[in-house]
Chains A and B, each alone.
Chain A
Amino acid sequence: EAGVAQSPRYKIIEKRQSVAFWCNPISGHATLYWYQQILGQGPKLLIQFQNNGVVDDSQLPKDRFSAERLKGVDSTLKIQPAKLEDSAVYLCASSFNNRGVLTDTQYFGPGTRLTVL
């Protein structure tokens, strides 16, 4: 079974530029998550989708971050404009079905390492 795919793996941009990340979850997984992991910290949930609907985006800085999952499969996360503090690894994860399933396990992609100069 193929895992969660992400691209690009690395990205270097200057502050105030824009950047987009792509994620393709495990086939059949209804729930998709985007996390931000700053060096030395645990992953922080940015946004959670169930199919093509947003379930939780309470920690997404909506003035600069946006995400979509239009067809309920792959997803993109965008930052515009980027700030220095956005330098982090952006992890995408997916799970079969989060809703009401306590044993639902998240599987992570390899992440995109973003450096903002």
Chain B
Amino acid sequence: GQNIDQPTEMTATEGAIVQINCTYQTSGFNGLFWYQQHAGEAPTFLSYNVLDGLEEKGRFSSFLSRSKGYSYLLLKELQMKDSASYLCAVRLPGSGGYNKLIFGAGTRLAVHP
């Protein structure tokens, strides 16, 4: 089966740095996505890793180690608006060249003043 694990909840202080970890055991791997989802809203794309290493995009960075089945999302200079759920998703290869995403349950981040 496919398994993606993330912490259920995290709290952090405004202005600080937080790291959200994701580990996965899947049959196949074609990349890892991070999405942000505010309560009652749609997931929005944050980042994508297919090769090992760090991808930086403004205040957000994402890291991938394929050999360890491990990724993290790093959020710097936290703002109150960063309070949301963060979803880790693995892209799996399918038949006919198509892919599909398998999501973790998400990590609920609460940012406090």
Contacts and interface: CB of A to CB of B under 8 A. Distances in A.
23 contacts: A42-B87, A42-B103, A42-B105, A43-B43, A43-B103, A45-B101, A48-B98, A50-B98, A91-B43, A99-B97, A102-B31, A102-B50, A102-B91, A103-B31, A103-B48, A104-B99, A105-B45, A107-B45, A108-B44, A109-B42, A110-B42, A111-B42, A113-B40
A82 B104 CA distance: 26
Interface residues of A, number: 26
Interface string B27-64: 00011010100001111110010100000000000000
Given A42-B106, A99-B98, A111-B42, 14 more contacts: A42-B104, A45-B102, A48-B100, A55-B98, A56-B100, A102-B31, A102-B99, A103-B48, A103-B50, A105-B48, A106-B45, A108-B42, A108-B43, A113-B40
Interface of A: 4, 40-45, 48, 50, 55-56, 91, 98-100, 102-111, 113
Contacts of A103: 31, 48, 50
Contacts of B45: 105-107
Interface residues of B, number: 28
B30 A102 contact: yes
A41 B4 CA distance: 12
Contacts, number: 60
Interface of B: 4, 30-31, 33, 35, 40-45, 48, 50, 87, 89, 91, 94, 96-106
A41 B31 contact: no
